[in-house]
A and B are shown apart, each in its own frame.
Chain A
Amino acid sequence: DTAVSQTPKYLVTQMGNDKSIKCEQNLGHDTMYWYKQDSKKFLKIMFSYNNKELIINETVPNRFSPKSPDKAHLNLHINSLELGDSAVYFCASSQAGTGGHEQYFGPGTRLTVT
């Protein structure tokens, strides 16, 4: 079974559209993250949720809104998509109770905005 899964794997859409990316982890972890990796392969955190509560919110446009319906899911909704949003988005999870040292990453969602 996949530990951290994301859907869709590829997403091609036009500017101005609204889209969502879903993430699910079956590891029983209490913390989940969203990262963005741009064309230069630089990986940067966007959000982090612990027990469904937002604990990290980096300087991300408010067009990006994460939602965590439960500890196993962290979805990312993006409004009014722009060309600069094109990137690979990774979801990850970890367990704070054991130190949270090891983060498990999903396979990524490649978003292309045209």
Chain B
Amino acid sequence: DAKTTQPPSMDCAEGRAANLPCNHSTISGNEYVYWYRQIHSQGPQYIIHGLKNNETNEMASLIITEDRKSSTLILPHATLRDTAVYYCIVRVVVTLGKSTFGDGTTLTVKP
């Protein structure tokens, strides 16, 4: 699985967009980019995933660069409840592959 690099922490004002970057320069052509988050003391929560194209769901948008070496998770209107640790994970097959989370980015949404 490709290694990912994320900033350790970020702040965002409530109501503004939160843009969380992730570098995965060694990503392979068949590896997906996944984002999960972990709110304090809870189990991780799936957010979104993508292979090549940008993706959007009810929670967030995922922007993957054309060379796929980096991506950005966008929370369009951050709320206080979005304060959490956000993990960027790159791997081939989710179910049958190894699933180890990195250090993640601690996002703090401030009023």
**Chain A contacts to B: CB under 8 angstroms:** 4, 31, 33, 35, 41-45, 48, 50, 55-56, 58, 90, 92, 94-96, 99-108
Q: Is there contact, CB below 8 Å, between A103 and B93?
A: no
- CB < 8 Å neighbour of A94 from B38, B43, B44, B95: B95
Q: Is there contact, CB below 8 Å, between B43 and A108?
A: yes
Q: Mark B60-89, 1 if CB is under 8 A from A, else 0.
A: 000000000000000000000000010100
Known interface pairs A42-B103, A101-B34; A107-B42 also in contact (CB < 8 Å): yes
Q: Is there contact, CB below 8 Å, between A43 and B101?
A: yes
Q: Is there contact, CB below 8 Å, between A103 and B46?
A: yes
Q: Number of contact residues on B: which range applies?
A: 20 to 34
B1-51 CB contacts (< 8 Å) to partner A:
32, 34, 36, 38, 41-46, 49
Q: How many A-B residue pairs have CB under 8 A?
A: 66
A-B CB contact pairs (8 Å), 27 listed: A35-B99, A41-B85, A41-B103, A41-B104, A43-B100, A44-B100, A45-B98, A45-B100, A48-B96, A50-B95, A90-B43, A92-B44, A96-B95, A99-B94, A99-B95, A100-B93, A100-B94, A100-B95, A100-B96, A101-B46, A101-B94, A103-B44, A103-B46, A103-B94, A104-B46, A105-B44, A108-B41
Main secondary structure of the interface of A (DSSP, over half): strand
CA distance A41 to B96 in the complex (A): 23
With A50-B96, A103-B46 given, can you name 11 additional A-B contacts, CB distance below 8 Å? A33-B99, A43-B44, A43-B100, A48-B95, A95-B95, A96-B96, A103-B94, A105-B44, A107-B42, A107-B43, A108-B43
CA distance A109 to B10 in the complex (A): 28
